[in-house]
Structure 1
Amino acid sequence: MTRSSIFLLVTFTSYAILSKILFDYIYSAANLIVDEEFHLPLGEQYCKFHFNTWDPKVTTLPGLYLVSSALLGPFGLCSIYWLRSISLLFSCINLLLFYVLFSRTVQNEWQKVSLAIMMNLLPPLYFMSHIYYTDIVSLTTVLIFIILNERGQHYFASLAGFFSIICRQTNVIFVAIYGGKYVLKGLYDSWVQKTDPFKKAGDFPIKNVKPFLLDILGNPFKILQNTTIHFWLNSLCYLSLLVFFLVFLIVNGGIVVGDRNAHHISINIPQLFYFSLFCLIFGWPHFLGEVLNFVTFAKNHKVFILIFTFIAFVIVHFNTVVHPYLLADNRHLIFYVWSRFYGKYWWFRYAIIPVYVFSLYVLFKILWNPRDVSFFILFTVGVTLLLVSQSLLELRYFLLPYIIIRVKTKNVDTAVFNMVLEFVTYSVMNMITFNIFFTKTLYWTDMDYPQRIIW
């Protein structure tokens, strides 16, 4: 074994052991944690192979419960402890998947392992690794989907994409992003071959976007006739998933399967601002180095910055959506952020707009690649649709988009220094949030047991 392989094994083992110790502490401290009161009873029923039960308060499809049934049901391990262990198990799997994912963009073996453990320790994500929520299993399916998609194994990727949708319906956005990128690049390749048969297409540069769109809209058959059966068979894998999801929407009458009054589609543009702030807080080492660049950009583009800031001001003023759950559920940290800042001081939501502008600038720089804009276009549109349609401000919605952006982040010169800062930041935040969880209790009149504060 190489030293890097030993480092990966030691890291994985240490993560599993330490997380298991923390897992046991959490289990002994709390019987039910927030929405586990809905997930655990269903998980137990599915674990016992009772598939005809459902709770109308649950909004997602039963992917988590099916996994519990497959892994725990045959052994009769249907207690709270074992159901929660599903998240811990898949958290360990995610560590290996992150390693594989970073292997495509990072050459240094030590950095691959460090980045993998870093992403698994992302505080909101790491906390979910110890409770029975859909987030961890959902993340596993999406990571598998992305890895298979990027390796060109589109049939198996579509299977992973299907199960990711079964775990959480909104994962269809990521299926559409990565599947759409394959289709877009395939059509672009055909267009390039039509215009110049001896030229290899490769990337999708910004300079070719306009002529490509005009050509494919004006005369699509000439481009389509250059495509191959292999391309269409692969594309059909992704298109069939989108058709399946469309049928589900029609039959179900919406995207959520329960509690529709509290989870309806809305137009909530400030979600993009909150997401940019989330990225800034958890990825601040990578944002810090862009401060001077942003100042220079702002000086050179004063009119653009002023117009964008004014538009953001108008959006915040007229489109700030405050979901009833945000004001009522004091078991989430975001409740205290809102009640002590956004809700308490009317001016705060306006004063923080320059921070949004800076954060969005950095995110644009991370994602923008003029030599290949295919991913930028699809990711920006997809994540915008995902976030803007959510009326509830929930940090868990930001996890997958942030993880994908973090994988795309390239700071080779300062990578080690930034990783150290990230590790310290995540460690401190995890210690603080777990300390709050263990030491602070709340009492709800309609609950027989104390409530605790989580992400």
Structure 2
Amino acid sequence: MSLSKPRDIGGRSSSSPTKNAFQGAMSILLFGTQMEWLRRVQTTLPEPYLDEFFHMPQADTFWQGNWTKWNDKITTPPGLYIWSVFVSKIFSLGSHSEMLTPYQLRITSMITLYFLTLSCSFWMRFGCKFSRSGVRLPQLLAIHTFPPLFFFSGLYYTDVLSAFTVICTYALWQAGLQRKGRAKYVVQLLHFMCGLLALGARQTNIFWVAVFTGGLQAVHTVKNQTRVHDPPVADAYFEDFPITIISLVTSAFNALPEMLLDLWPHFGLLASFTAFVVWNGGVVLGDKTNHVASIHLPQMLYLWPFLMFFSWPAVLPQLANPLLLQRTPRLWLIGLVVTSMLAVVHLNTIVHPFLLADNRHYTFYVFKILRLAPWKWYAAVPVYAACAWLSVQALGSKSGFSGGPGVKGSRGRRPSTSSGRGDSIRVEADTNRISFFMVWLLSTALSLITAPLVEPRYFIVPWLMWRLHLPDSEDVLSQDATAASGASNRVRRLLKSFAKQSVWIEIAWYMLINLITCRLFLYHGFEWQQEPDQVQRFMW
């Protein structure tokens, strides 16, 4: 396994001037589109809308220097308002005004989205030695135009800031892996401080800044000490998953002293979060009665269609690769997964009263369709299973693809499934391994299943982590060395030509969704009978 040469922003190591000019033009176009979205929101809604009625007055309260006054209806920590005051002063958005206008507060969301994109670039740059490709502008543009992020960049909500602080913390953790001695502890301290900022934006970020990065750090430390069973996701059999867990747990005892030293930022964040919960009397601030944590396992079923609905273009390189058919799950595994999903649907489906009462959100209409007949809840299970399989397969990268998670069989010799001492950096260079997938899955589950309400916003960070780790399309397509002939192969050649442009298709798909959802929000409002003078608007 060899490391590929890191690529610079925009792929300068392999890009032509024409391609770079095209990417630059697209960046300018998307910037103009976002500014137009912000302008039209302000023109159509000069006053706060929905949750902004809570967020904006609280930000104004902080802007005026009253740091002790708090609205009990707000359920999230004050990170958004502190950040808004900071950004407004740095960029002189508020000048010397006594109050911040809705436009001034909304523009902080747009600025934060650019900070998020920059933090993704920062992670990619520091992850060049570990990830399959370096910093690439098209991937950053895809993240920047992701519909829920793009939409809320024009409103004053916590979602963009929450994602930014999580990715920034993740990037600092990644940077710490490449440091030694005093520099390492300085970066770890920055990781801890940024993690606190993430917790100040949203409580559930604890699962990403402490559990997610902590799990990856533990795996990294163990691999530095000994060899473990940790095959690439694309080459893994179902049996490899429990074997990997056992291998990592048993090997962890040998690396316990080093692990404790490496995990101090994560333990510090967990301790800080625990102290907050004890002080607050619970996780939720403010209105606790309507935000009671519960076990809601179907959230993990809704995750997979969410990933595939938005990111199906990113899976085109895998679909264009004929080796995907070699990784079809075995029948017994399909039966096990489908049966488990059916049980979750039957025993734990929760429909929150807020979801049924608010027809402004798209999830209302999705669940309305499902509730038309009981059988539809169960009929959706094959869709969940298929989307889950594609989402996992999408993480496959430059390994030999001799098998797959629960595959029927494999062709050729299966590559080595061990990784660790002596190659702890190399093993992460061009593939996603089981350890990463399981840490990501655990963190996603912890952040989702405690939420009884289903909202697309809750899936933003899981999507971001998944999308950042998708292999480059060139890496996936380069595995296909078969000669293409015949009608079926002509179709595959056509699919492959689309797959080569998958990231631009993804951006176009996102912008189409943004066009529809933003237009619906701005120009297709409606009224409730109980509030005849208020315009209600469709939104995520």
User: Equivalent residue for 2:67?
Assistant: 51
TM-score, structure 2 as length reference: 0.74
Superposition pairs for residues 348-387 of structure 1, below 5 Å? 348-367=376-395, 372-387=433-448
User: Equivalent residue for 2:105?
Assistant: 83
Q: CA deviation at 1:297?
A: 5.2
User: Equivalent residue for 2:180?
Assistant: none
Q: CA deviation at 1:14?
A: 3.9
User: Equivalent residue for 1:196?
Assistant: none
User: Equivalent residue for 2:118?
Assistant: 96
User: Equivalent residue for 2:454?
Assistant: 393
Superposition pairs for residues 94-173 of structure 1, below 5 Å? 94-103=116-125, 104=128, 105=131, 107=133, 112-152=136-176, 153-173=187-207
User: Equivalent residue for 2:224?
Assistant: 189
- Any conservation in 1 of the 2:206–2:270 contact (CA below 8 Å)? yes
Q: Which deviates more, 418-427 or 122-131?
A: 418-427
Distance in 2 (alpha carbons) for counterparts of 1:182 and 1:162 = 18
User: Equivalent residue for 1:454?
Assistant: 539
User: Equivalent residue for 1:325?
Assistant: 354
Asked if 1:22 corresponds to 2:56, the answer is: no
Q: CA deviation at 1:126?
A: 0.5
Q: CA deviation at 1:5?
A: 7.6
Asked if 1:422 corresponds to 2:488, the answer is: no
- Any conservation in 1 of the 2:214–2:263 contact (CA below 8 Å)? yes
Q: CA deviation at 1:281?
A: 0.2
Distance in 2 (alpha carbons) for counterparts of 1:208 and 1:451 = 50
Q: CA deviation at 1:26?
A: 0.7
Q: Which deviates more, 395-404 or 345-354?
A: 345-354
- Any conservation in 2 of the 1:368–1:376 contact (CA below 8 Å)? no
Q: C-alpha offsets along residues 117-158 of structure 1, whole Å, 9 cap, x if unaligned?
A: 111111111100000001111111112111111111322122
Partner secondary structure for residue 66 of structure 2: coil
- Any conservation in 2 of the 1:268–1:391 contact (CA below 8 Å)? yes
Tell me which amino acid in the other structure corresponds to 2:70.
Answer: W
Superposition pairs for residues 245-394 of structure 1, below 5 Å? 245-287=273-315, 289-290=318-319, 301-339=330-368, 341-367=369-395, 372-394=433-455
Q: CA deviation at 1:8?
A: 6.6
Of all paired residues, the percent bearing the same amino acid is: 26
Q: C-alpha offsets along residues 324-367 of structure 1, whole Å, 9 cap, x if unaligned?
A: 1100111211112222x112233222112111001111223345
CA separation of 1:367 and 1:443: change in aligned 2, threshold 3 A:
same
User: Equivalent residue for 1:195?
Assistant: none
Consecutive unaligned residues of structure 2, counting only runs of 5 or more, are 1-8, 177-186, 232-239, 398-416, 420-432, 478-495
**Aligned positions, number:** 434
Distance in 1 (alpha carbons) for counterparts of 2:26 and 2:166 = 23
Tell me which amino acid in the other structure corresponds to 1:422.
Answer: E
Distance in 1 (alpha carbons) for counterparts of 2:532 and 2:457 = 24
- Any conservation in 1 of the 2:173–2:213 contact (CA below 8 Å)? yes
Consecutive unaligned residues of structure 1, counting only runs of 5 or more, are 193-200
Distance in 2 (alpha carbons) for counterparts of 1:106 and 1:308 = 30
1:71 to 71, 74, 87: 87
- Any conservation in 1 of the 2:527–2:534 contact (CA below 8 Å)? yes
Distance in 1 (alpha carbons) for counterparts of 2:251 and 2:36 = 60
User: Equivalent residue for 1:179?
Assistant: 214
Tell me which amino acid in the other structure corresponds to 2:157.
Answer: Y
Partner secondary structure for residue 283 of structure 1: helix
Tell me which amino acid in the other structure corresponds to 2:109.
Answer: S
Q: CA deviation at 1:373?
A: 3.2
Distance in 2 (alpha carbons) for counterparts of 1:447 and 1:161 = 44
Distance in 2 (alpha carbons) for counterparts of 1:236 and 1:102 = 24
Question: Once superposed, what is the RMSD of the aligned Cα atoms?
Answer: 2.8
1:214 to 232, 247, 250: 250
- Any conservation in 1 of the 2:222–2:251 contact (CA below 8 Å)? no
Tell me which amino acid in the other structure corresponds to 1:93.
Answer: F
User: Equivalent residue for 2:404?
Assistant: none
Tell me which amino acid in the other structure corresponds to 1:308.
Answer: V
Tell me which amino acid in the other structure corresponds to 2:520.
Answer: I
User: Equivalent residue for 1:36?
Assistant: 52
CA separation of 1:452 and 1:223: change in aligned 2, threshold 3 A:
closer
User: Equivalent residue for 2:78?
Assistant: 62
- Any conservation in 2 of the 1:61–1:166 contact (CA below 8 Å)? yes
Distance in 2 (alpha carbons) for counterparts of 1:409 and 1:212 = 24
Partner secondary structure for residue 501 of structure 2: helix
Tell me which amino acid in the other structure corresponds to 1:351.
Answer: A
Q: C-alpha offsets along residues 398-455 of structure 1, whole Å, 9 cap, x if unaligned?
A: 0110111111111322653211321221121111111111222132435853121111
Superposition pairs for residues 403-414 of structure 1, below 5 Å? 403-410=464-471, 411-412=473-474, 413=477
- Any conservation in 1 of the 2:138–2:504 contact (CA below 8 Å)? no
Distance in 1 (alpha carbons) for counterparts of 2:132 and 2:23 = 15
Q: Which deviates more, 55-64 or 286-295?
A: 286-295
1:440 to 514, 524, 535: 524
Tell me which amino acid in the other structure corresponds to 1:82.
Answer: Q
Tell me which amino acid in the other structure corresponds to 2:116.
Answer: N
Asked if 1:402 corresponds to 2:463, the answer is: yes
Q: CA deviation at 1:377?
A: 2.4
Q: C-alpha offsets along residues 368-404 of structure 1, whole Å, 9 cap, x if unaligned?
A: 7965433222211111111111100010010110111
Distance in 1 (alpha carbons) for counterparts of 2:55 and 2:532 = 16
Distance in 2 (alpha carbons) for counterparts of 1:304 and 1:141 = 38
Structure in which a larger fraction of residues adopt helix: 1
Distance in 1 (alpha carbons) for counterparts of 2:396 and 2:443 = 15
Partner secondary structure for residue 449 of structure 1: strand
Distance in 2 (alpha carbons) for counterparts of 1:347 and 1:311 = 16
CA separation of 1:223 and 1:81: change in aligned 2, threshold 3 A:
closer
